[in-house]
Amino acid sequence: MNELDLNSDAMKEVAEQQSAFTQTLEQTEDLKALEALRVSTLGRKGWVKKAFDLVKKVPGEQRKAVAQHLNEMKSSVEAALDQAEVRIATQAIEKQVESEWIDWTMPSTMDTQGALHPLTIIERNCIKVLQQLGFEVVEGPEVETPFHNFDALNIPEHHPARDMQDTFWLQDNFLLRSHTSTVQIRALEAAKAEGRDLPLKIVAPGRVYRNETVDATHLACFHQFEGLWVDHDVTFSELKAVLEFTVREIFGDAWELRFKPKFYPYTEPSIGIDIRLKDQDGQGAGKWLTILGAGMVHEHVFENTGFDPKTTKGFAFGLGVSRIVAMAYGVESMRSLYESDLRVHQRLSVLGNA
């Protein structure tokens, strides 16, 4: 067996193979060719593997130096292959970006435009109508205390609404508000604490949560719209006048409305409003649909917020915005309003005003 060293012909041949490898690598332009070069270099039958076989022919005193030289060469080859992979991948991305480049400053070729969500449209319409009557918009937290959601609203502990099956309860006895009436309590508390003069006229739109089985007409999360007017001499007649004006302005003259008695723990007396479409002769047709509930604020609510019920009067009302939107846009299932269904946005026929 011939003995070898770093200056032998065999080692010079390895150096030439490394040089040829470097030239080939510089000319490689795609990942498939790079992988083929990697196999022919570092594979089981590659020239690097064969180069390490030469170590067996090196005498003992030279073997360490040759082995170290070959390890350094292998590391250099592996690093060069990794760098080439990054280079080729980067070039591929640059070519793709260049070929697919779009001038975002140019006018769009799309013939469709974005739109507000129907819930937002109806909610803003409600606000606009009530602002004509002097109401101001207020908001409240969605995570509430039992006092603001139940106790202050004359809903005792034994009421079924406080059951785990009807309400989403959280840690530390907090809950997701089940109605926007909680904002009434907070607004009354703030007015009392700040010593603000009456009247207090607010609207409170927002999301509410009920632990209900989701179907075409029921949701676990939906939108409500609450109104409150408190003064020293507000009457039931004014409540009916405000509600009738609000419904007429929102729904138009194509709908017939009726008042009916209702029960709510936080209002007394309480009423509901149903609507139905009129036919071509202007007569009521179709099924009555309940859209809101209302009533004169219960004296216990005033007591719970620090007001004297003998000198303080007021009324409150709440609309189911999600249900109104479903009616306005002809949506069969209210779930569509919360599922990013673009068909909902494309329904432009609103109530009787198509």
Q: What is the pLDDT of residues 134-166, one digit of tens each?
A: 999 999 999 999 999 999 999 988 887 777 668
Predicted pLDDT at 351: 41
The arithmetic mean of pLDDT across residues 174-196, rounded, is 93
Q: Note whether 86 and 169 are same-domain residues.
A: no
52 occurs within a structural domain: yes
Total number of domains in the chain: 2
Q: Note whether 76 and 185 are same-domain residues.
A: no
The arithmetic mean of pLDDT across residues 84-92, rounded, is 90
pLDDT at 4 over 60: no
CATH number at residue 226: 3.30.930.10
Q: Provide the strand spans (E) within 173-266.
A: 175-176, 200-209, 221-231, 255-264
Query: Could you list the residue range(s) of the whole structural domain that residue 91 is in?
Result: 9-99
57 occurs within a structural domain: yes
Handedness of CA 267, 269, 274, 275 (dihedral sign): negative
2 occurs within a structural domain: no
62 occurs within a structural domain: yes
176 occurs within a structural domain: yes
Q: Note whether 33 and 61 are same-domain residues.
A: yes
The arithmetic mean of pLDDT across residues 88-109, rounded, is 83
Q: Note whether 124 and 212 are same-domain residues.
A: yes
Q: Note whether 206 and 161 are same-domain residues.
A: yes
Q: Note whether 215 and 293 are same-domain residues.
A: yes
Q: Note whether 207 and 140 are same-domain residues.
A: yes
Q: Note whether 86 and 157 are same-domain residues.
A: no
107 occurs within a structural domain: no
Percent of the chain that is helix, strand, coil (3-state, to 5): 45, 20, 35
Q: Note whether 193 and 241 are same-domain residues.
A: yes
Q: Note whether 307 and 228 are same-domain residues.
A: yes
Summarize pLDDT for 294-329 with one digit per residue, the tens: 999 999 999 999 999 999 999 999 988 887 777 777
Summarize pLDDT for 248-260 with one digit per residue, the tens: 888 888 888 899 9
Q: Note whether 93 and 124 are same-domain residues.
A: no
Predicted pLDDT at 6: 57
Of 37, 69, 99, the domain-final residue: 99
The arithmetic mean of pLDDT across residues 217-234, rounded, is 87
113 occurs within a structural domain: no
CA distance 39 to 44: 8
CA distance 298 to 139: 22
Mean pLDDT check: name the lowest of 2-16, 150-164, 225-239.
Answer: 2-16
Predicted pLDDT at 95: 87
Residue listed under structure tokens 């069969």: 332
Predicted pLDDT at 354: 35
Q: Note whether 83 and 125 are same-domain residues.
A: no
Give the pLDDT band (50/70/90) at residue 289.
Answer: confident
